[in-house]
Structure 1
Amino acid sequence: MNNIPNKQAICEVLMEKAKKDKDIVVLCSDSRGSASLTPFANEFPGQFFEIGIAEQNLVGISAGLASCGKKAFAASPACFLTTRSYEQAKIDCAYSDTNVTLIGISGGVSYGALGMSHHSISDIAAMSALPNMRVYLPSDRFQTKKLIEALLEDEKPAYVRVGRNAVEDIYQEDNISFKMDQAAVLAQGKDILLVACGEMVKPAFEAVAELKKKGIHAALLDMYCVKPLDKETLIQAARPVKAVLTIEEHSPFGGLGSMVSQVIGSNCPRKVVNMTLPDAPVITGTSQEVFDYYELNTQGIVKKAVDLLS
């Protein structure tokens, strides 16, 4: 059982690369512990900046450092990073096209017990609406590492959302096929297409096996690259199937489901159903309790897929 959260995988990559690349800088908003970045701060104090609980300053300073040639990674709880500092993300990062990677930690309902103030279930919509801003939700630690390595090689702004706790491995460290901005095809099928991102990929992956027992052959895309959306792979996977089911830890508006629906509707019309959190304050509880309550789990996905094909 994996006990390494995606945020820790981010720290490991940054620490390894920072040994040789002194342009890598990490900034936090009093969140080095919750972001699993304390080891980086201890090992590279000259490349780490503690901004305090001031998310707008966090993003603005990151953009300033990036404009001076630094590779800036700014980490803060997703619920605050994508709301309190939205203008700075819009102007200082996206509009100015600066080399800043915004890391939204404890995304979705990771802070489930703290309620709506700490949930970030509109961040995909908000950040995707910004021109030049890319949006990524890696599904496990190995994909997260590959993503951060790729982001270190370019100079464009990006938003990366990761959860608070460790998630079960989907890929293998020595056998992961990763291409930047290209969805991963985890299963092929002719009956229904499942499209998931972030922490919803694992239950969707498990649902494929359960559906097969029922004689339903499901395809599955790990759409970690929500923006830019991999339209080519999506259309190719959707053409043979009867219906498309998207699964995401997000509100019903402006997220993965909305984007997939637009592409499918324009290119290969099929019935598309979006599994999301509700357009209402989400219940409090652990992440898994929230997922189970709204049937964003393996059993819920199987049930929805069967109903969709009935």
Structure 2
Amino acid sequence: MRKIATRDSYGNALVALGREHENLVVLDADLAAATKTGMFKKVFPDRHIDCGIAESNMMGIAAGLATTGKVPFASTFAMFAAGRAFEQVRNSIGYPHLNVKIGATHAGISVGEDGASHQCNEDIALMRTIPGMTIVVPADDIEAREAVRAAYETDGPFYLRFGRLAVPVINDRPDYHFELGKGSVVREGTDLALIACGLELGEALQAAARLEEDGISARVINMHTIKPLDRDLLIRSAADCGRVVTVEEHSIIGGLGSAVAETLAEEYPAKLLRIGIRDRFGESGPAAELLHKYQLDAEGIYRQIRAWVSEL
């Protein structure tokens, strides 16, 4: 299966949109090669601004550009976009509800050898607390491109989360349709609803296939939009299946798992298992080995669900 990192998808999508819209501008914090915004810079040098290693300042510049009618995409690693620049994102972008799009690459533990300081597993939690912030975690190349386009076409602040690791292209099919705030069922099932986002969607599909061999039918849901969450699909799936599992390359605190738990507690209480980073920092190592160690690969997901089901 073809693989591509969603950070590459981000760069390619910006170039395509840049050809269509002259008001699109791209900002970077001395990481154009890593975030892949260098692709945009090569084609549109006059619309690319390197703000240097000054992420907080970059967010302020993006906010200013948005007030002039530009549509800025401010790009850097997730750790710096959501962590270092949180105050500026909150006060300069979120509070006035400006039309700024934040392209956060190198998210999650699959950053690999860069280690715990760069493996941001807390960014979704931080961005979820900002009123009016839309959060999208695309699963593959096709979805990432669609998410970038949707962000441009939708007014208001966006947090787009991209990865460094090349991941399988799952959505390369004629019936694929991306819609903000609407998850999709990518595999039918009746015994439990397995809800995933980002690179974990591919792993969840593999885990579901193994569960099927054990007589456990798992419905797999692609929940690419974390905020606003597709509450209708979640509640319907919980009612159909009775049990819900979330899988994310993020802390189980504050991310997809928390968003699902909050909704279920309010709307339709159901048995829930949250799979993700469990209240700890990451470590340096090859991405695939880290995903295996932290039980975020297909085998780890399968084993955790099997153990959980056997306890119920």
Give 1:160 shift.
Answer: 0.7
Inter-partner Cα distance in structure 1 for 2:77 and 2:135? 16
Separation (CA, whole Å) in 2 of partners of 1:173 and 1:27: 33
Distance across 2 between alignment mates of 1:295 and 1:17 = 37
> Structure 1 residue 42 and structure 2 residue 18: aligned?
no
Q: 1:242 and 1:3, CA in 2 relative to 1: closer, same or farther beyond 3 A?
A: closer
Query: Do residues 154 (structure 1) and 154 (structure 2) align?
Result: yes
Partners in 2 of 1:133 and 1:179 — Cα distance?
A: 16
Q: After TM superposition, what 4+ stretches of structure 1 lie above 3 angstroms from structure 2?
A: none
Partner of 1:167: 167
Q: Which residue number in structure 2 is paired with residue 258 of structure 1?
A: 258
Separation of aligned partners in 2, 1:47 and 1:36: 15
- Structure 2: any 5+ residue segments left out of the alignment? none
8 A contact 2:3–2:169 mirrored in 1? no
How far 1:73 moved relative to its partner?
0.3
Q: Which residue of 2 aligns with 1:19?
A: 19
Question: 3-state DSSP class of the match of 1:110?
Answer: helix
User: Is contact 2:193-2:220 (8 Å) kept?
Assistant: yes
CA displacement 1:110-169 (0-9 Å, x = unmatched): 332222211100001000000011111100000111111111112210101111122111
- 2:270 counterpart letter in structure 1: R
User: In the aligned structure 1, how far is the partner of 2:8 from the partner of 2:283?
Assistant: 27
AA paired with 1:51? C
Map 1:240-251 to 2 at 5 A: 240-251=240-251
2:250 paired with 1:224? no
Q: SS at 2:110's partner residue?
A: coil
Q: Percent identity?
A: 33
- In 1, are the aligned partners of 2:183 and 2:221 still within 8 Å (CA)? yes
Give the Cα–Cα distance (whole angstroms) in 2 for the partners of residues 267 and 20 of structure 1.
42
Residues 111 and 163 in structure 2, CA contact (< 8 A), matched pair in contact too: no
User: Size of the alignment, in residue pairs?
Assistant: 310
Residue type of the alignment partner of 2:117: S
Q: Could you list the runs of 5+ residues in structure 1 that have no partner in the other structure? A: none
| Residue type at the aligned position of 2:231 | K
1:95 alignment counterpart: 95
Q: Is the 8 A contact 2:104 2:159 kept in 1?
A: yes
Match of 2:70 in 1: 70
Paired residue type of 1:138: P
Bigger shift: 15-24 or 46-55? 15-24
Equivalent residues in 2 for 1:1-310, closer than 5 Å = 1-172=1-172, 174-310=174-310
1:72 CA displacement: 0.6
Verify the 8 A CA contact 1:243 1:308 in the aligned structure 2.
no
Structure 2 Cα separation of the partners of residues 307 and 62 of structure 1? 47
User: What do residues 20-75 of structure 1 show as CA deviations (whole Å, max 9, x unaligned)?
Assistant: 31100000000110011212101101111010000011111011101100011011
CA distance in 2, matches of 1:3, 1:194: 23
| Contact 2:190/2:240 (<8 A) preserved | yes
CA distance in 2, matches of 1:38, 1:103: 13
- After TM superposition, the score normalised by the length of structure 2 is 0.96
The CA RMSD measured in Å over matched residues stands at 1.3
Judge conservation of contact 2:200–2:249 (CA < 8 Å) in 1: yes
CA distance in 2, matches of 1:272, 1:173: 31
- CA gap of 1:306–1:3, structure 2 versus 1, over 3 A, is closer
Cα separation, 2, equivalents of 1:36 and 1:283: 24
For residue 84 of structure 2, give the secondary structure of its aligned residue in structure 1: coil
Q: CA deviation at 1:230?
A: 0.7
Provide the rounded CA distance (Å) in 2 between the counterparts of 1:173 and 1:79: 33
CA distance in 2, matches of 1:135, 1:289: 27
- Between the aligned partners of 2:10 and 2:252, the Cα distance in structure 1 is 28
TM-score, normalised via structure 1 length? 0.96
